[in-house]
Structure formats: C-alpha cells, structure tokens
Amino acid sequence: MKYTISSVIAFAAAALAKPILTNTEYPVEEGQPFTITWANAEGPVTLTLKNGPSKNLQDVTVIASDLTGTEFTWTPEDLPSDTYAIEIRDSTDEPNYSIPFVYEGTGTAPSVTSSAEASSTAESSTITSVASSTEESSSTITSAASSAESSSLSKILSATSTTSTSTTRTAPVTTPTNQNEGQRFSSPLALLMVTVAAVFFFN
C-alpha cells in the first residue's frame, strides 16, 4: 500500500512539473479577444495552435512566444473552421495541451486537390526517372554486347590469320623434275656410238 501511495505522489509531482493551461472553457471566436491563462511554467512560454487527431496534433500557427507571466490575450483571425487545441511549452521543453475546442472561422483550408496533384507530379517524375534509368541501363548492356561481339569477331579473324600463316609455313616444297636429265645422259651415249662406228668404217 505504501508503494502505491508513493507512486501516485511521484506521478503527481511529475504532472505538476509541466506547465498547465488553467482555462476550463474555450469559447474562442474569430475577431474576439480570448485570454489564455496558465500556471507552473518555468521561464518563457510559447503558445502554439494545433489541429488534427489527439495523438498526432499538427502545428497550425504560433500564437505567441517568449511570454512571461501567467496569461496572454489572443485575437484569432483568418483561421478555417476546425477543431483545435492549444499547446503550451516552457523552458523545460515539456509540452502540455488544452482541451479540444470547435472554432468557426472564415479562413480557407489548404487544398487537398493541390496536394494530390503535387503528389501525382512527384510520382510521375519518379516513374520517368526510373524509365530513363532503365533505358540507359539497356543502352549500356547493348553497347557491352556489341563490344563483346566485336571482340569475338576480332579473335576469330586473328585465329584464322594465324592458321593461314601456319599452313603457308608448313606446306611441303615440291621440286620440279629436271626434264633435261635424260638428254644429259643420252648425249654421251650417242657420242660413243658415233666413235665406234667411225672406227669400224675406217678399218
């Protein structure tokens, strides 16, 4: 039981360490002064108007900053109709929030169509960029393939040239037959026969 009481006291002390907005109601109207009050702040205070889901509030505008004291009078203008909340933040950078309140204004809300068009343009640009990158990659691959084909063709031509040279170098050399060799042997034989015939004729 003592542990439970000490835990509650610690939680209460932590809660009191944050600045708190002390307004109990927020009848905020456009063009009408509204006094925002707070307590437990340390150092200068910044008040920020927010909207959106309670667990994901987004900044709309800074109402005032570097505030001292415990109150500030705010006159809202040119705000679109919406449900808002006020954030208070002091020098400890620990935020706290008001209860949400409904506001009826004359301002224009940001165009959803413009945001959608901007998103569509960004997506289109991304797709174009990807397509361009794909085309460049395809061109690079084609160029590499052409280079590889040229290299292969050069190797084939080189191999063919080497084979042709090798064939030329190893071909046997055929020496033509000397057809005058028969004549060279027949001439002395004829001379011998003429000599023998002369001997018999003169004897």
Taking the complete model, does pTM exceed 0.85, yes or no? no
For residue 180, give the DSSP letter.
T
- The residue among 36, 104, 97 whose CA lies nearest residue 67 is 36
- 20-21 vs 58-67, strand pairing mode: unpaired
Q: Does pLDDT of 39 surpass 70?
A: yes
Q: Give Cα 45 distance to the centre of its chain.
A: 42
- The residue among 106, 61, 100, 73 whose CA lies nearest residue 84 is 100
Label residue 107 by pLDDT band (50, 70, 90): confident
Label residue 168 by pLDDT band (50, 70, 90): very low
Rounded mean pLDDT of 176-198? 57
Q: Does pLDDT of 92 surpass 80?
A: yes
Order the strands of the 34-39 sheet from edge to edge: 20-21, 34-39, 71-74
Label residue 109 by pLDDT band (50, 70, 90): confident
Question: Mind listing the pLDDT tens digit for each residue in 47-64?
Answer: 999 999 989 999 999 999
Q: Which of 9-13, 35-39, 142-146 has the lowest mean pLDDT?
A: 9-13
First-to-last C-alpha distance (Å) of the chain = 174
DSSP H helices, 45-180, are 112-170
